[in-house]
């Protein structure tokens, strides 16, 4: 089964592909996976019919998780001391430099406030995510019906929380770029302050104020760079967390479909391998995500059908391929996007009937591509 991430509904994989991707006259992948061509697996009965009268009562939902409040950023702008207008050409330059430095400080204050807001949003997304997954885990442990719609809704809620976290990471990357630009501005300001010493027509008070501005500008650069380091580290931490939880969502989806935290019986493990399998040969499918809302289900279905027809026991390695970027922040963003697309492909494959135990996911980079790709290899 697959789930619609917005409506939270369940549909059979073939029905979904037949209506959304225009399938017609294709063999069911389940035929090859189960080894019984022509015989489709029956859909699970409705929850009311599947649960016997003697089934234990469902455990109450856990208490809502208290959101974690992110600590405020310990970055303060450097105070710019007021000066005296000496009326000299150098004094006029000093006033201009002081005004520019105050503007840089205002940008620093705004960036710090935005950073605190983004950290708060990430904490809220994490709280929502863990609340939903904790509810799912408790219900699965005591046992429930396969594909319980309540758990499907919780899974979709958790997925939405991860999507919100991905947007927060994008915001952090954009903020890091803005802070870097402010740092460049501050360094240019420092150069201009040093150059002002050579302007003729100044008095001793002008030199005193220039020295003060030089110190304040130097300290401002240090503070800006510290904030940039904090934002970059936060972005990397959240990106690593997001990648890990995206993988966990695949296993959780399989468990919900089985109605059991440990899968549908002892021979059906639900944990999808995360170890790396090196691709061999050409991929059976390459999906390019250069355009938004890329439709790939039809071609992916055809490729899987051909591969499983030739080798019913085949397993697959799904590789998230990111383009190379010039900066570390841009590289992290590209890798996160590629991993998100790979998770979408994995979700589609499990919905088509490929067991999660036969799938492995890994990441790679390719300087020859301009946008993220997902390549599926048979192993």
Query: Which segment of 11-20, 162-171, 360-369 scores lowest on mean pLDDT?
Result: 11-20
∠ CA 357-39-150, rounded to 5°? 55
Query: What is the structure's pLDDT at 275?
Result: 37
Close Cβ partners of 7 (under 8 Å, ≥ 6 residues apart): none
What average pLDDT does range 326-340 have in this prediction? Answer: 80
More confident residue, 245 or 33: 245
Q: For residues 132 and 154, what is the distance between their CA atoms, to the nearest angstrom?
A: 5
Residues 59-116: tens digit of each pLDDT: 444 445 455 566 677 777 788 888 888 889 999 999 999 999 999 999 999 999 999 9
Closest by CA position to 179, among listed 24, 308, 329? 329
Q: Is the pLDDT of residue 34 over 70?
A: no
* % of the chain beyond a pLDDT of 70: 75
∠ CA 177-181-187, rounded to 5°? 145
Query: What is the structure's pLDDT at 69?
Result: 61
30-36+272-379 is a CATH 3.40.50.2300 domain: no
SS3 10: strand
More confident residue, 41 or 247: 247
Residues 247-303: tens digit of each pLDDT: 777 778 878 888 876 543 333 333 333 333 445 578 999 999 998 888 898 899 889
Query: What is the structure's pLDDT at 176?
Result: 92
Query: Which segment of 24-38, 202-216, 219-233, 237-251 scores lowest on mean pLDDT?
Result: 24-38
Q: Please report, for the chain, the start and end positions of each structural domain, with discontinuous segments joined by +.
A: 30-36+272-379, 44-268
CATH architecture assigned to 44-268? Up-down Bundle (1.20)
Q: For residues 296 and 223, what is the distance between their CA atoms, to the nearest angstrom?
A: 47
Residues 307-331: tens digit of each pLDDT: 998 888 889 999 999 898 877 667 7
Query: What is the structure's pLDDT at 252?
Result: 82
Backbone torsions φ then ψ of 137, nearest 5 degrees: -60, -40
Residue 23's pLDDT band (cuts 50, 70, 90): very low
Q: Residue 197 carries which DSSP code?
A: G
Q: For residues 2 and 16, what is the distance between their CA atoms, to the nearest angstrom?
A: 8
Global confidence as pTM: 0.53
363 touches 320 (CB < 8 A): yes
Query: What is the structure's pLDDT at 50?
Result: 41
Q: How far apart, in Å, are the Cα atoms of 345 and each of 150, 295, 304?
A: 24, 11, 12
* % of the chain beyond a pLDDT of 90: 33
What average pLDDT does range 235-239 have in this prediction? Answer: 89
Q: How far apart, in Å, are the Cα atoms of 118 and each of 17, 177, 206, 228?
A: 38, 15, 42, 14
More confident residue, 33 or 251: 251
Which residue bears the tokens 């949003």?
121
Query: What is the structure's pLDDT at 266?
Result: 33
Q: How far apart, in Å, are the Cα atoms of 172 and each of 83, 127, 208, 238, 262?
A: 36, 19, 39, 10, 37
Three-state SS sequence of 305-359? HHHHHHCCCCCEEEEEEECCCCCHHHHHHHHHHHHHHHHHHHHHHHHCCCCHHHE
What average pLDDT does range 21-28 have in this prediction? Answer: 41
Query: What is the structure's pLDDT at 271?
Result: 36
Q: For residues 365 and 379, what is the distance between their CA atoms, to the nearest angstrom?
A: 20
SS3 376: strand
More confident residue, 127 or 279: 127
Backbone torsions φ then ψ of 290, nearest 5 degrees: -70, -30
């Amino acid at each position: 089964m697959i789930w619609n991430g917005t409506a939270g509904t369940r549909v059979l994989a073939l029905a979904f592909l037949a209506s959304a991707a225009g399938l017609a006259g294709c063999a069911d992948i389940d035929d090859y996976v189960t080894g019984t061509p022509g015989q489709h697996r029956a859909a699970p009965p409705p929850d009311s019919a599947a649960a016997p009268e003697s089934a234990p009562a469902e455990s109450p939902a856990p208490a809502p998780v208290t959101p974690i409040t992110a600590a405020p950023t310990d970055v303060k702008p450097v105070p710019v001391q007021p000066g005296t207008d000496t009326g000299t050409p150098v004094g006029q330059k000093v006033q201009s430099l002081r005004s520019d430095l105050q503007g840089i400080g205002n940008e620093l204050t705004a960036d710090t406030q935005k950073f605190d807001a983004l950290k708060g949003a990430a904490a809220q997304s994490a709280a929502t995510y863990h609340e939903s997954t904790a509810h799912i885990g408790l219900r699965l442990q005591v046992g429930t019906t396969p594909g319980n719609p309540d758990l499907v809704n919780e899974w979709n809620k958790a997925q939405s929380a991860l999507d919100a976290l991905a947007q927060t990471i994008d915001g952090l990357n954009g903020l890091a770029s803005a802070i870097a630009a402010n740092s460049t501005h501050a360094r240019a300001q420092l150069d201009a302050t040093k150059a002002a010493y050579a302007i003729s027509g100044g008095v001793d008070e002008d030199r005193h104020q220039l020295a003060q501005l030089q110190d304040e500008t130097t300290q401002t650069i240090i503070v800006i760079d510290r904030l940039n380091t904090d934002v970059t580290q936060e972005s990397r931490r959240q990106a690593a967390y997001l990648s890990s939880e995206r993988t966990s969502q695949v296993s959780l989806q399989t468990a919900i479909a089985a109605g059991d935290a440990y899968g549908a019986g002892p021979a059906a493990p639900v944990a999808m391998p995360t170890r790396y399998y090196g691709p061999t040969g050409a991929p059976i499918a390459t999906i390019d995500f250069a355009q938004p809302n890329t439709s790939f289900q039809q071609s992916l279905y055809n490729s899987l059908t051909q591969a499983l027809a030739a080798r019913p026991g085949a397993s697959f390695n799904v590789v998230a391929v990111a383009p190379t970027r010039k900066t570390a922040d841009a590289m992290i963003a590209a890798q996160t996007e590629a991993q998100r697309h790979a998770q979408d492909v994995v979700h589609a494959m499990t919905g088509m009937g490929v067991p999660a135990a036969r799938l492995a996911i890994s990441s790679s980079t390719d300087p020859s591509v301009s946008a993220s790709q997902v390549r599926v290899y048979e192993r």
